[in-house]
């Protein structure tokens, strides 16, 4: 698509869905990369994931949840002990305050259980729409769009929306897709942003949606050079081979 073209709403929706289908084929296994066994664990892990990687969070949560497995126990935990456990995630004092207050909220207002409604989740200490949608989509099966830094960068780069406010991005992108696709759409775009469509040097030359992307060329377009930029931020045991034969990279139309 030429950047000088004016795209109709219908054409935008069709292009966006075509790009999503192609990326879904590339990442059919896309999923939340935080380890969790129940809604409480996912909620706490998501709060801890701010300004750090999911891999780092997954290294500290086994001890955290072994010592304080539910809201009641974490609400009563010694602050310094929690800080010591979550120190690797960064901003550990602020995060400790958040998870302790959040746990107290759950105990006092929801009988220690994580609520399954967005309007309730966002009333909890330190929980915004992004965290709420992560929990709803992955722990309760309620479709939601997670607008993290990767998602926001890609939808603007793809020309799906020019909005920068996360709530406006959520609504604008949500209007392009069926509600049932929202959670998987979030996973797929986050996977793509972490592995290929990087903030500084996207691997344009090996991107399967380059032919529909108005930002093609922001990164190296030579397939050999672009292939060196691929990243796989996955915990041990989750690594997957790159799905293309490097000798047969997809060609970009136009």
Catalytic position from the list 130, 179, 222, 248: 130
Residue 48 burial class via C-beta count within 10 angstroms: exposed 0-12, middle 13-18, buried 19 and up: buried
Catalytic position from the list 148, 179, 181, 245: 148
Range 193-209 burial, b when 16+ CB lie within 10 A, else e = bbbbbbeeebbbbbbbb
Report whether 152 contacts 169 (CB < 8 A): yes
Range 216-250 burial, b when 16+ CB lie within 10 A, else e = bebbbbebeebbebeeeeeeeeeeeeeeeeeeebe
Based on the residue annotation, tell me whether 165 is a catalytic residue of this protein.
no
Based on the residue annotation, tell me whether 130 is a catalytic residue of this protein.
yes
Token pair of 16 as six digits: 């966006």
Token pair of 129 as six digits: 């729409």
In the block, residue with structure tokens 């990243």: 231
Please state whether 126 falls in left (phi above 0), alpha (psi between -120 and 50) or beta.
left
In whole angstroms, what is the distance from residue 55 CA to residue 34 CA? 7
Token pair of 33 as six digits: 């990369």
In whole angstroms, what is the distance from residue 185 CA to residue 192 CA? 11
Catalytically annotated residues: 130, 148
């Amino acid at each position: 698509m030429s950047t000088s073209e004016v795209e109709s709403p219908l054409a935008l929706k069709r292009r966006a869905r075509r790009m999503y289908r192609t990326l879904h084929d590339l990442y059919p296994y896309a999923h939340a990369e935080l380890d969790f066994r129940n809604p409480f664990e996912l909620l706490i892990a998501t709060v801890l994931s701010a300004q750090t990687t999911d891999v780092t969070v997954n290294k500290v949560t086994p001890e955290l949840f072994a010592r304080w497995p539910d809201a009641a126990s974490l609400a009563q935990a010694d602050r310094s002990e929690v800080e010591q456990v979550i120190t690797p995630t960064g901003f550990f004092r602020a995060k400790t305050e958040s998870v302790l207050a959040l746990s107290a909220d759950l105990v006092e207002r929801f009988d220690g259980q994580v609520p399954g409604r967005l309007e309730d989740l966002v009333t909890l200490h330190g929980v915004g729409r992004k965290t709420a949608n992560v929990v709803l989509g992955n722990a309760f099966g309620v479709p939601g769009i997670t607008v993290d830094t990767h998602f926001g960068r890609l939808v603007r780069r793809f020309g799906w929306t020019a909005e920068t406010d996360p709530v406006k991005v959520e609504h604008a992108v949500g209007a392009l897709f069926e509600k049932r696709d929202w959670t998987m759409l979030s996973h797929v775009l986050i996977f793509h942003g972490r592995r290929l469509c990087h903030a500084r040097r996207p691997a344009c030359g090996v991107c399967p949606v380059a032919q529909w992307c108005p930002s093609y060329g922001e990164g190296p377009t030579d397939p050999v050079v672009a292939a060196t930029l691929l990243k796989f931020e996955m915990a041990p045991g989750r690594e997957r081979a790159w799905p293309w034969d490097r000798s047969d990279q997809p060609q970009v139309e136009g």
